[in-house]
Amino acid sequence: MTGFTRNFPSGLFALAILAGCVDAQAAHGYGQFGDLKYPAGFPAFEWVNPKAPKGGNIDLVPPLRISNFDKYNPFTLKGTAPPGLSALVFESLLTGTMDEPTSAYGLLAEDIDAAPDGLSVTFRINPAARFHNGKPVLAADVKHSFDALMSKLAAPQYRVIFGDVKQAVVVAPLVIRFDFSRANAELPLMVGGLPVFSRDWGEGKPFDKIILDFPIASGPYRVGRLNFGRDITYDRDPKYWARDLNVRRGMFNFERITYKIYQDNTAQTEAFKAGEFDYVRSFSAREWARTYTGKKFDSGELIKTELKARNAGDFQGYLINTRREKFKDPRVREALGLAFDFEWMNRKLFYGAYIRVRGFFNNSDFESKGLPDPDELAVLEPLRDKVQPAIFNKEVPSPPTTDAPGSLRANLRKAKDLLAAAGWTYRDGKLRNAKSEPLKVEFLDNSPRSGPVNTPFIQALGKLGIDAEVRIVDFALLQKRIDVFDYDLFVVRVPGDEAPGNELLDRFGSQSADTEGSSNLLGIKDPAVDSLLAQVVSSRTRPELVARLRVLDRILRHGHYVIPQYFSNTYRLAYRAGKFEQPAVMPLYYQPEAWVLQTWWRK
């Protein structure tokens, strides 16, 4: 998704659509469960400096490591698009705000009109909106974008995320209507976040054959100078159509943004110290403590800071591919988790910097705790015949601990009992099933720097008789194997979300489990989960959403589909001193890279 992060809740606007045209009372924004913070005609978001000067450059590295890129179409399954492309080049009908994650405001659309019955939403496009080739953004371009993303030539998650959207209808040259198969207060936000591109992009090629054609979109930047597959620069469009629009005022201030791609962490860190780029975010507590040091940090030439995050906590953990026969029994999956000693790692490797991941919605209203509360029980009762009784009468599982009086030894004994109950016993030097097949586990990875985490885990699994190994592959092969679900375990980090919704259908829904390239990496096919997901996306109040997501978290945690790792409640950032300035007001909910690129400016 582009345009805004999919974090939206706040009241369903009951605004009439008269004879297929946008009513004069149509709104400047949309909230799923409540009122909008900013009134019509507001001058700028509070977390920007509307008078920030334009100009200068910033060089940075991708927040997620990639080894190269080989296409300029971020919406297809095969290949790797360059970092920053979606966020800087493409725009959407609506855009979000970093201090109000549950609403969105008009960007390409100057107003939005949601039908009272919730079965359609109509957008009127700003007549000033222009693509990079100078042509106006029309309703036909929006429809073309939607139809392309819903086709089988695009990545499959779009067909799941927009699965309740029946069609996009061109009502007038600047008016587009989306019809829904069922009322869902989140859908206007979903289609409002649809990335929009010109019908001229690719010159009539099939969508999956648009590979090296530079995008024709409407965002503040265009693709500029590049070292194909390695570095890429985005140049600010001097004729950017929305430069004076209130939702863009004070934003995207750099003249040029360059991403530099390094093959390994050591080279990247040394390049930062040598002045080859300006900003980096560290995801490693060990690296942060041991390598982000030296004279340039001591002198203040390089700034090292940790910013408190109010966002919902990230999820990070080993995903277990339940498509594999050996992992279908939840007792086996639970046993694997008992061999992971987070407390020892946090003390010895991470300088005490991390918090244990507990579930799928850490540090948010949606995290389940203890026994189900009355609101959760009301959601669970109709599912009683679809879920295990333990979900009603046992506390939600927490990750195992080795803190006293617990120990890794005690956890491994419990794991041995679980494995035996699942039919795995120690014979001839290995843990074997009834067919005498050994239990083997392969960790798929594309970076050797995870070795300090994987090694003690593998050693503990070895004490159970499990033959575990790490397979290091390059990013392209990793992506290919993930797309076709060819893995046992691998680590994923999912940023926290203030209002999860339709994207969960692709992540946990049965319909995505066998679709190559989907986000259902766990292979979950559970009728109870499917029923819950349908309720989640149809929630009309915040309390409904909270109760349903807590039950979803509870059911998933009882299933032991993942081995939880850890997350941080701070952002570790380092940047070159004396080069940049920031707005006086920090946003409430943000990702660091977006905050830097959208709001900072060059001194």
User: Where residue 356 sits, what CATH number does that domain have?
Assistant: 3.10.105.10
Who wins on pLDDT, 531 or 283?
A: 531
The number of distinct structural domains making up the chain is 2
Residues 399, 356: Cα–Cα separation, whole Å: 8
pLDDT, tens digit (0-9, with 9 covering 90-100), for 336-391: 999 999 999 999 999 899 999 999 999 999 999 999 999 999 999 999 999 999 99
H/E run at residue 376: helix 374-380
522 pLDDT exceeds 60?
yes
Q: Pairing mode, if any, of strands 29-31 and 100-106?
A: antiparallel
Position 553 in a domain = yes
pLDDT, tens digit (0-9, with 9 covering 90-100), for 557-602: 999 999 999 999 899 999 999 999 999 999 988 999 999 999 999 9
Position 78 in a domain = yes
Retrieve residue 457's tokens.
């885990």
Position 268 in a domain = no
N-term to C-term CA, the chain: 32
User: Where residue 55 sits, what CATH number does that domain have?
Assistant: 3.40.190.10
pLDDT, tens digit (0-9, with 9 covering 90-100), for 241-266: 999 999 999 999 999 999 999 988 88
Note whether 141 and 246 are same-domain residues: yes
Q: Who's near 150: CB < 8 A, 6+ residues apart?
A: 158, 159, 162, 165
Note whether 55 and 145 are same-domain residues: yes
Note whether 47 and 179 are same-domain residues: yes
476: confidence class by pLDDT, cuts 50, 70, 90: confident
For the residues 302-310, what does the mean pLDDT come to?
90
pTM of the model: 0.83
Residues 106, 27: Cα–Cα separation, whole Å: 9
The position carrying tokens 């008789």 is 465
20 pLDDT exceeds 60?
no
For the residues 271-282, what does the mean pLDDT come to?
95
Position 158 in a domain = yes
For the residues 446-474, what does the mean pLDDT come to?
92
Helices (H), 131-249: 139-150, 157-161, 187-192
Note whether 248 and 374 are same-domain residues: no
Residues 547, 154: Cα–Cα separation, whole Å: 34
The position carrying tokens 């924004």 is 29
Note whether 248 and 382 are same-domain residues: no
Note whether 550 and 413 are same-domain residues: yes
Q: Residue 70 burial by CB count (10 A; 0-12/13-18/19+): exposed, middle or buried? A: middle
Residue ranges making up the domain that contains 524: 315-567
Position 133 in a domain = yes
Residue 395 CB coordination number (10 Å): 12
Retrieve residue 152's tokens.
């089988």
Please give the share of the chain, as a percent, with pLDDT higher than 90.
82
pLDDT value at residue 13: 25
Which of 206, 238, 256 is where one domain is finished? 256
238 pLDDT exceeds 90?
yes
Q: Please, what is the angle between helix 408-421 and helix 330-338, to 10°? A: 160
Note whether 21 and 170 are same-domain residues: yes
Note whether 114 and 195 are same-domain residues: yes
Note whether 80 and 169 are same-domain residues: yes
Position 389 in a domain = yes
Note whether 230 and 349 are same-domain residues: no
pLDDT, tens digit (0-9, with 9 covering 90-100), for 418-453: 999 999 999 999 999 999 999 999 999 988 878 889
Note whether 341 and 250 are same-domain residues: no
pLDDT, tens digit (0-9, with 9 covering 90-100), for 42-61: 999 999 999 999 999 999 99
Retrieve residue 543's tokens.
């309390």
pLDDT, tens digit (0-9, with 9 covering 90-100), for 115-139: 999 999 999 999 999 999 999 999 9
Note whether 440 and 513 are same-domain residues: yes
Question: Long-range contacts: 453-459, Cβ < 8 Å, 24+?
Answer: 453/345, 453/349, 453/565, 456/341, 456/344, 456/345, 457/339, 457/340, 457/341
For the residues 2-23, what does the mean pLDDT come to?
30
pLDDT, tens digit (0-9, with 9 covering 90-100), for 81-96: 999 999 999 999 999 9
Q: Residue 78 carries which DSSP code?
A: S
Retrieve residue 158's tokens.
């779009």
Position 274 in a domain = no
- Among residues 5, 17, 31, the alpha carbon closest in space to that of 540 is found at 31
For the residues 450-462, what does the mean pLDDT come to?
93
pLDDT value at residue 380: 97
pLDDT value at residue 120: 97
Position 345 in a domain = yes
Residues 454, 244: Cα–Cα separation, whole Å: 50
Residues 323, 53: Cα–Cα separation, whole Å: 53
Q: Pairing mode, if any, of strands 165-172 and 175-180?
A: antiparallel
